[in-house]
């Protein structure tokens, strides 16, 4: 019997690839800066049995239909929003994911972005590289204090609570809003106070977004919400890009209605709005919430575990469409 053929859409941890190569023929896109278009993915799966894809890959019905013998779609994401799961299910193709395992890394990045934008770290770095060194007490790069500031958490699940734990080390006042209020013991342990969204936006010096993307959260932060924020406040988004109306955000930043923003995710990712790129009071990172060597290796190993299960004729441990095994 021939070995299964696996296509990987971008480089992943070498350890995971070696595990796959023991039982399968493995190849893929070796350029970490190149995101394959759906047409290119369709061409790739045409002659492969299993697709190993990442969060930026759009696996639509056209990709799934490209190979009638496609056996599996294994994604290195927690929620397969970029995959047409219904089309895969109709073909009885298992779609596997990874469990929620990026909490601590994402919370670390949220704090890094908060500090970077509030203390104007990226602006300062650019000036020094351009040969400009303002006086050590020059007002040119004055930002706003983080220690003792009020942090509003928009969503307080795993990541929101992890950010709260970190923010306590900065002596921050912690507010949160969530449709499901936390148990009072959790609120007390983390020093959290529950507020309505409108109250939180008006009170917070920093608003950090930690809600999942769903119809109810698309453009949850729009022009009206930004208008409620303080002119000295910052918006941080490490959740999903479409939660924030980017056009409204650009207008608020240009007009000085908020002080700045730091974004790891974008509304039309991987495309970043040119207007955002032109603003000096925005820190931008390319969806790197999970970009830790150790974590990414564990994530890739989970994907391999899922693939090996399917190769062995078993249901993958992390299956997004278990009904195909019913």
The catalytic residue positions are 240, 269, 287
Task: For residue 275, say if its preceding peptide bond is cis, omega within 30 degrees of 0.
Answer: no
Q: Are 245 and 273 in contact (CB under 8 A)?
A: no
Strand order of the β-sheet with 95-96 is: 25-28, 5-8, 50-53, 72-75, 95-96
Q: How far is residue 324 from each of residues 87, 133, 136, measured CA to CA in Å?
A: 12, 62, 64
Give 307's contacts (C-beta < 8 A, 6+ positions apart).
Answer: 6, 20, 24, 50, 52, 72, 74, 96, 316
Give 312's contacts (C-beta < 8 A, 6+ positions apart).
Answer: none
Strand order of the β-sheet with 282-284 is: 192-194, 173-177, 150-154, 206-209, 234-237, 260-263, 282-284
3-class state of residue 62 by DSSP: helix
d(CA 168, CA 146): 11
Kindly tell me the burial class for residue 74, based on how many C-beta atoms sit within 10 Å of its own C-beta (0-12, 13-18, 19 or more).
buried
User: What are residue 183's phi and psi, to 5 degrees?
Assistant: -60, 145
Beta partners for residue 206, in sequence order: 151, 234
């Amino acid at each position: 019997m021939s070995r299964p053929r696996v296509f990987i859409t971008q480089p992943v941890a070498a350890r995971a690839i070696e595990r796959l190569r023991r039982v399968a023929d493995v190849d893929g896109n070796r350029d970490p800066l190149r995101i394959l278009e759906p047409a290119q993915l369709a061409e790739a799966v045409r002659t492969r049995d299993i697709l190993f894809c990442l969060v930026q890959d759009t696996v639509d019905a056209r990709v799934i239909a490209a190979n009638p013998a496609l056996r599996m779609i294994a994604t290195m994401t927690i929620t397969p929003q970029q995959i047409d799961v219904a089309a895969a299910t109709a073909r009885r193709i298992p779609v596997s994911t990874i469990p929620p395992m990026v909490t601590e890394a994402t919370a670390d990045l949220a704090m890094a972005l908060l500090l970077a934008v509030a203390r104007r770290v990226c602006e300062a770095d650019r000036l020094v590289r351009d040969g400009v060194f303002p006086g050590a007490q020059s007002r040119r790069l004055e930002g706003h204090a983080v220690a003792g500031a009020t942090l509003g958490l928009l969503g307080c699940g795993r990541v929101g609570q992890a950010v709260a734990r970190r923010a306590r080390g900065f002596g921050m006042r912690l507010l949160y809003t969530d449709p499901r209020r936390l148990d009072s013991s959790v609120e007390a342990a983390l020093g959290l106070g529950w507020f309505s969204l409108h109250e939180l936006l008006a009170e917070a010096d920093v608003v950090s977004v930690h809600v999942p993307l769903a119809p109810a959260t698309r453009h949850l932060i729009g022009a009206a919400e930004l208008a409620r924020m303080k002119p000295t406040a910052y918006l941080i988004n490490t959740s999903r890009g479409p939660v924030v109306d980017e056009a409204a955000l650009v207008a608020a930043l240009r007009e000085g209605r908020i002080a700045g923003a730091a974004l790891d995710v974008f509304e039309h990712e991987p495309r970043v709005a040119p207007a955002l790129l032109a603003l000096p009071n925005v820190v931008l990172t390319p969806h790197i919430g999970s970009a830790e060597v150790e974590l990414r290796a564990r994530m890739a190993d989970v994907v391999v575990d899922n693939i090996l299960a399917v190769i062995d004729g078993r249901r993958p441990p992390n299956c997004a469409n278990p009904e195909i095994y019913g």
